[in-house]
Every structure is written in structure tokens, then in C-alpha cells.
Amino acid sequence: MAEKGIITRVHTSPLALDAAAWNALLAQQAHATPFMRHEYLAALHASGSAVPATGWHPHYVTLEQDGCLIAACPLYLKEHSYGEYIFDWAWARAYQEHGLRYYPKALVAVPFTPVPGSRLLARDEAARTALLRAVVAWCEEQSLSSLHLLFGSEADMAACKSVGLMQRTTVQFHWKNLAPEGGRFRDFEHFLGALTQDKRKKIRQEQRRVRDAGVRFRWAHGSDIAAADWNFFYRCYERTYLEHGNPPYLSRAFFERMARDMPGAWLLFIAEREGKAIASSLIAVSAYPSSARDQNDFTFPPPAAYGRYWGALERVDSLHFDACYYQPLAWCIAHGFETFEGGAQGEHKMARALMPVATHSAHWLAHPAFADAVEHFLEREDAGMAAYVQELKAHTPFRVAAQRVPNP
């Protein structure tokens, strides 16, 4: 399609996109994350992790003007609702009960990655709105049931509102490197001192159990992560999924590409006992001082870390909490990182000082009656979610209740 000199294209593979142009557009966004890098999206496709065979059909949408990329977004047709972390199973079931087809549906999201950030990449707000309108028009042309934009940024949600998409609020738990008296935490002990006595005692007890079991941690970042460490991590990651009766979402080839194409985006913690590696947690980082060996580093301010993957070959009491929360938080404090995002769901994270924050999605349904029903449902859900967040915040783990936390 062409309108006012703007050309809309739909690409059936991220590998068909100009990587440099995509990444340059991403760098202009206020809420860019490593997970929207072309290298990350291309790895999901090239590794066989997010492809038609797994129910993810790529249809990336781009807007070009005078030969320049002015807007773009990842778009997938989905045959199921796995790997999304915004749950619409009830909507799909209601369609089925009324003899209507819900799948395939359209999704603007990063597969298997519930990290808030920019989804509609654009040079300005006009281009962002034009991109979203083009996506909705394409969904109508394809007679799709619905369009869903997941974990969008503030700018994305503003564009969705202007186009008339319904909005939904969910909750995640994020840690802020913000001491009650102001400034950042000096060290992990300073952080613990800001917590209530019972929370501080619990964390120390859990770390003591790990130490008493003879477990010690080491960490490596970027190109310092050895191939053997990547291989060990994947054994742990794969085992976690298989223990729950499911194959892992991400293939070994995906992480091989991450090690090759985005080394600076990864931080690995390995737990060892008597010199033997027994568990690991992989953290993504959005900013880190580039090293001469990491020529492909791409950093985004402010520095943030993202809890992503974990696994263990041996069971040790409290090891999961230490590997996935306490070690990363101590690292974030030591390296001046501002936030640590704990991923989807999990009220238990509040006991580790990760506080509730609102995350946002937007939805378009083609069927008028269902759209009306979902809109009323979302209004009730939103009111309940706001009350839920306020109730959670009333149980702050910090001694100083006035510590600043993100508002929903």
C-alpha cells in the first residue's frame, strides 16, 4: 500500500529486514530493550524457536518514506496462545462456544519475552500511529479475529488509544536501586538494611542455607562467558522445562546465536559445589561498559537487568532464590544498575523487594459483539487490578514505607 509517499510492506521473515535500519530506529525509542534488537528477533526465527512450525508465523510490518525506514513492528500470526504471558484463553473459548474462529490471531510482541518496552518503532508519533493503522487494516484484510499488542511502552499505548484499541493492565514485579534516604544502595548489606526485620532475616537465612550446602557463585558477562558455560546453562534450562513435561521454548541454536551476535546483552551466574557446576541463571542486561572484545555491544540507558532463565542439576534449599534474585541484585548494586525486572507474575517476589508495577497491552477484536463484551470485562478487570496493586503496596517489604515505588 502507498499513501502520502509512505509505502507499507509486510515481510514474512525478520531476516528480510535491513538490520542496521531496524536497530537505528529502535535506538530512537524512549523504551528500547535488547529484546527488540534485530539480532534477537532474527535468532528466534533462524533457530527455529519462533517459526510457523511452532505456531509463530512472522509478518513484520514496515513503513518507508523516500527510501527510509520510518516505522516498523514485529507481527506474528498465532495458532495458539502459548509463550505470550497475557492470557486470552477465555476469549478463545468464548469464540469457540459460539461457533466462531479465534485463531489465527495477530500479535505485536516479542515471542516468549514478557519484558515491557517499545513495540511500535517509529521516528515520531505520527509515524507510530500510521504504523498501527496499517497493521489494523492488514488484519481486517486478512479477516483475522483480533490483534494484540503486548507489554507496550507508554508511546505505544498512546497510539493504541488514538486508534481505538482496548487497553488491559497486568502486574509484574521490578526492583529499583533506590535507597529510602535517596540515591542508590551502597552495597547488598545496605539494601538488606532497608528491609523490614522479617524480610531481612528471611533473605539471610536463605543465603546461609546455600552457603552451608557448600555452594559458591561465579559470574561472567558477554564474551567472558565460555562456550562450556553456555553449554552448561542450556543443560540446566532444558532440564527445567522437561521436568515440567514440556520441551523448552528456545532451542540451543538460539543461545548459540546470542553468544555470537549479542554477547554484551547477557550475564551468567553459575552455582558450584566442590568445583562442580550445579545450577545457573541467565540475566539480560541493557547497558554495560563496552569492552574491546565486545564490538557488537549495543547499550541502552538507563542500565537495567532482566531476570530470564534458570535451571539446576541438583536440588539445594533456597538455591533458586539466591541464583535468580540475590546474586543478580548484588551485581546490579555493585555495577550501578537502576532496575531489575523479575519477569511475569509472582507475588513471592515482593519478599525479595521486587515491587508491583503495571504493564500494559492493547487489543482489537473484529467481531463487534465480542469487542463490546471484552471492553466491559476489561473495565471491571482494570478496577480490580488497581485495587490489587494498592493492596500489594500496602505490604511493602521496606522499613520506610515512604520509599518511592513505581505507580500503576
- Of the candidates 276, 206, 268, the one whose C-alpha atom is nearest the C-alpha of residue 237 is 268
DSSP secondary structure string for all residues of 242-275: HHTTS--SS-HHHHHHHHHH-GGGEEEEEEEETT
pLDDT of residue 31: 95
Selected residue with higher pLDDT from 288 and 359: 359
pLDDT of residue 2: 46
- In SS3 terms, 95-135 reads as HHHCCCCCCCEEEECCCCCCCCCCCCEECCHHHHHHHHHHH
Average pLDDT, the chain: 92
- In which band, very low, low, confident or very high, does the pLDDT at 377 lie, cut at 50, 70 and 90? very high
Q: In the predicted model, is pLDDT for residue 404 greater than 90?
A: no
Q: In the predicted model, is pLDDT for residue 86 greater than 90?
A: yes
Q: In the predicted model, is pLDDT for residue 205 greater than 80?
A: yes
The whole-model pTM stands at 0.92
pLDDT of residue 302: 72
Selected residue with higher pLDDT from 105 and 287: 105
The owner of cell 506474528 is 76
Reported as a single tens digit per residue, the pLDDT across 346-374 is 888 999 999 999 999 999 999 999 999 99
| Out of 150-159, 194-203, 301-310, least confident range | 301-310
Asked whether 121 and 26 are in contact (CB, 8 A), the reply is: yes
Write phi, then psi, for 14 (nearest 5 degrees): -65, -20
Reported as a single tens digit per residue, the pLDDT across 24-41 is 999 999 999 999 999 999
Q: In the predicted model, is pLDDT for residue 291 greater than 60?
A: no
**Separation between Cα atoms, residue 121 and residue 66, nearest integer Å:** 18
| Out of 153-157, 328-332, 394-398, least confident range | 394-398
Cis peptide before 104 (omega within 30 of 0): yes
Phi/psi region, residue 388 (left: phi>0; alpha: psi -120 to 50; beta: rest), is alpha
Reported as a single tens digit per residue, the pLDDT across 135-175 is 999 999 999 999 999 999 999 999 999 999 999 999 999 99
- In which band, very low, low, confident or very high, does the pLDDT at 287 lie, cut at 50, 70 and 90? low
Q: In the predicted model, is pLDDT for residue 71 greater than 90?
A: yes
